[in-house]
Amino acid sequence: MRRLCNGCACHLVANALEATEGGQGRLLSVSASEEDGRICIVFDDSGSDIDSDVVAKMFDRGFTTKGVAHLGMGLAMARKELERFNGSIDYDESGRFQVYVIPSQ
């Protein structure tokens, strides 16, 4: 479970760094709480809002808005790995990524 969370966190931190690149006062906040027996980890960055057409495709394998130097695999891989372990990742209406995992016993 730890390896899974580390991998997912790496993808989301890299995504946040790229989203805030060139911006003044780059900020990434990460918080965690328990919701309905699951751990919720929220990644919130100071990047600009994401258009709804991009949100609809952002977890698709190979989709990227970052040009040919990027493969568009990070968010797709994070979602696939989380789902393998009954977890999930969502992008909410306030512009934050939320990761839900079920703690191991």
- Residue 72, pLDDT score: 74
Interatomic CA distance for residues 53 and 58, integer angstroms: 9
DSSP codes joined into one string, 32-81: EEEETTEEEEEEEESSPPPPHHHHTTTTSTT--SS-TT--S-HHHHHHHH
pLDDT in 10s for each residue of the chain, 105 residues: 666 667 788 888 888 887 777 767 778 899 999 988 888 999 888 877 788 888 889 889 888 877 766 677 788 888 888 888 888 999 887 888 888 887 765
Q: Is 49 left (phi over 0), alpha (psi -120 to 50) or beta?
A: beta
- Residue 24, pLDDT score: 73
Interatomic CA distance for residues 85 and 69, integer angstroms: 30
- Residue 7, pLDDT score: 76
**Among the CATH numbers 2.60.40.10, 3.30.565.10, 3.40.1380.10, 3.10.290.10, which is that of 2-101?**
3.30.565.10
- Residue 31, pLDDT score: 92
- Residue 1, pLDDT score: 60
Domains of the chain, by residue range, sit at 2-101
Cβ-Cβ contacts under 8 Å for 62 (sequence gap 6 or more): 71, 72, 73, 76
- Residue 50, pLDDT score: 83
